[in-house]
Chain A
Amino acid sequence: MFSLLGGVFMGWALGANDAANVFGTAVSSKMLKFRTAAILAAIFVILGAVFSGRAGIETIQNLTNFDLHQAVISSVAAAITVTIMTAFSLPISTSQSVVGSIIGISIINRQVNFDGMGKVVACWFGTPVGCAIIAIILYKLLSVIYNRFKPNMFESDSIIRAGMIVAGSFGAYALGANNVANVTAVFVGSGTLSVFNAALIGGLSIAFGIITNGRHLMENIGKKLVKLDPFSALVVLLAVGITIHIYSIIGVPVSSSQAIIGGVLGVGIIRGVNTIKIKMLFNILIGWFLTPFVACFFALAIEFIVHLHYIPHQ
């Protein structure tokens, strides 16, 4: 059980960080209490992980063959990468750091599943682009419905509030389903956990992260989206939920932060407004390229360090 701590820590960090992407807008704008949002997010993350997390776990565990020792190294390397990237304020993707660290282990094992890697990397590029496309389609579709019914200001507010709760819960479900693989898939690969147990432990650790450490990020990170009008913010949240859910079905863990950025860009394109600054885009690109390489480096370095032996001078 002690060896699972690395994964649980990863899940805790993921929960604290990524729940803000699905409920941050509603909480930071005071539409929803943190406690309500945290409880909803925790419940739906666990449900998502248990009922729809299998595909992602299987993809990640098949990237290479692990033993327990390598699974722990992989988790720790990914967690260190996330911590360092966060310290440099670069947008982080736990999915990329986990896959990067697995690549490091694969290099040591000389056993890389290139088909699986190709699928994962293609999905990384597809996440923001796909979310942007979904946001554009959703915006067009929902605006037609909205303009047809023409709700008054008070009805519109009620619909948007309710929509944000539903979209947030759906996003949390998709997050649990998609990102649980980042937390415990390596332990399935090493034979330590069954898929169900991995999904349950992963889901619980993400939920634990949301409840114990999600408040600050939920109350602050979501504010960057409040610059959008409420209707656009709802569209972005729905687009993020749908995008992540699609990737859960495909079985590839993706980044909800990158999805949300794609969604914001998509809404910006359709409304003809500049929603993201060039500097922010630059940071995102750096984060995308650096994360897997840094995680791979840490996995290799940790593996090298733990195999160093003291040889007494003869």
Chain B
Amino acid sequence: MFSFLFKKERQVELLIYEYLDTFKLTYESFSNAMNFCFLNEISCENFEFYIKQTHKYENKITDISDEINSVMYTKALIPDSRGDIMTLLSEFDIISRLFKDILHMMQVQKLVVPGFIIQETKELVRISVECCELLTKQSIALFTNTSGIRELLSLIDTYESHCDNLERRIISMIIDSDIDWFGKLQLKELIERIGNISDGAERVSKRINIFSLKRRV
């Protein structure tokens, strides 16, 4: 009824949903690059396209994040919420940068994932992306004040533990293989970076849970 009085709040709300939509596009583009091109052991013409797309979405995320901050600091929302949203967005930015960095790393270093770890790596990517999907749902639950935040945290936590186990297993397989040591270190770094996605998702998820508890009346 009084929405005309709070245009800036509404503007921030719309920008945040745009941000989350773009975040979703980023992890989907990353997932496509990894699954349809890289891990199928076939030469994929679209790999370059997905890298560019992921980069484009990552840039858009940064732009939206800047716009949200500038609208918030022209006196939209109460300071407590501004702080929470800024923290949340900067954590999301870190995850979206990881997508771009992983793809760039593979492109620049011309990395080839050997066949003996393809299944595990695919699984690692799938669960990491799923963590991001759950994270997006959890953020929406925080902004819309709906239930399920705690349950989503515990699900992300479980997925993150699973990712950690996979990461350790893949690294062991790499170290035990006949690949030269330089190649081993390159692959180890790649797997660790992929593992960082679920770690980041869990970190953000815990923050969202705290923000939600803080707002409980």
A162 to B9, CA, bound (A): 12
Q: What does the 1/0 interface line of B1-30 toward A look like (CB < 8 Å)?
A: 010011001101100000000000000000
Is there an interface contact between A162 and B143, defined as CB atoms closer than 8 Å?
A: no
Residue of B with least CB distance to A235: B217
Question: Which chain B residues lie closer than 8 Å to A161 at the CB level?
Answer: 6, 78
Is there an interface contact between A157 and B81, defined as CB atoms closer than 8 Å?
A: yes
Which residue, of A154, A161, A229, A231, has the highest number of chain B Cβ atoms within 10 A? Answer: A154
Residue of A with least CB distance to B147: A150
The secondary structure that dominates the B interface is helix
Question: Which chain A residues lie closer than 8 Å to B215 at the CB level?
Answer: 153, 156, 229
Known contacts A30-B79, A162-B2; is-contact A154 B9 (Cβ 8 Å): yes
Residues of chain B at the chain A interface (Cβ within 8 Å): 2, 5-6, 9-10, 12-13, 75, 77-81, 142-146, 214-215, 217
Q: For residues 90 through 113 of chain A, which have their beta carbon under 8 Å from a beta carbon of chain B?
A: none
A226 at the interface (CB under 8 A from B): yes
Is there an interface contact between B144 and A29, defined as CB atoms closer than 8 Å?
A: no
Q: What does the 1/0 interface line of A119-157 toward B look like (CB < 8 Å)?
A: 000000000000000000000001100110011111111
A156 to B144, CA, bound (A): 10
Is there an interface contact between A151 and B78, defined as CB atoms closer than 8 Å?
A: no
Is there an interface contact between A31 and B75, defined as CB atoms closer than 8 Å?
A: yes
Is there an interface contact between A157 and B145, defined as CB atoms closer than 8 Å?
A: no
A230 at the interface (CB under 8 A from B): yes
A229 to B12, CA, bound (A): 21
Q: Can you name 12 A-B residue pairings with CB atoms under 8 Å?
A: A31-B78, A31-B79, A152-B145, A153-B81, A154-B9, A154-B13, A157-B77, A157-B78, A158-B2, A158-B5, A161-B78, A162-B5
Within 8 Å by CB of A152, from B6, B143, B214, lies: B143
Question: Which chain A residues lie closer than 8 Å to B142 at the CB level?
Answer: 153
How many Cβ-Cβ contacts under 8 Å join chain A to chain B? 55
Which residue, of B13, B142, B146, B217, has the highest number of chain A Cβ atoms within 10 A? Answer: B217
Is there an interface contact between A226 and B145, defined as CB atoms closer than 8 Å?
A: no
Is there an interface contact between A152 and B144, defined as CB atoms closer than 8 Å?
A: yes
A160 at the interface (CB under 8 A from B): yes
Is there an interface contact between A229 and B214, defined as CB atoms closer than 8 Å?
A: yes
Is there an interface contact between B10 and A154, defined as CB atoms closer than 8 Å?
A: yes
Residue of B with least CB distance to A144: B217
Within 8 Å by CB of A154, from B143, B146, B214, lies: B143
Residue of A with least CB distance to B142: A153
Question: Which chain A residues lie closer than 8 Å to B75 at the CB level?
Answer: 30-31
What is the distance, in angstroms, from B52's C-beta to the closest C-beta of chain A? 34
A14 to B105, CA, bound (A): 65
Residue of A with least CB distance to B143: A153
A157 to B144, CA, bound (A): 12
Q: What does the 1/0 interface line of A254-292 toward B look like (CB < 8 Å)?
A: 000000000000000000000000000000000000000
Question: Which chain B residues lie closer than 8 Å to A226 at the CB level?
Answer: 79
What is the distance, in angstroms, from A34's C-beta to the closest C-beta of chain B? 13
Which residue, of B142, B146, B215, has the highest number of chain A Cβ atoms within 10 A? Answer: B215
Is there an interface contact between B143 and A230, defined as CB atoms closer than 8 Å?
A: no
Residue of B with least CB distance to A158: B6
What is the distance, in angstroms, from A39's C-beta to the closest C-beta of chain B? 17
Is there an interface contact between B78 and A154, defined as CB atoms closer than 8 Å?
A: no
Q: For residues 149 through 204 of chain A, which have their beta carbon under 8 Å from a beta carbon of chain B?
A: 150-158, 160-162
A312 to B145, CA, bound (A): 84
Within 8 Å by CB of B12, from A31, A142, A146, A154, lies: A154
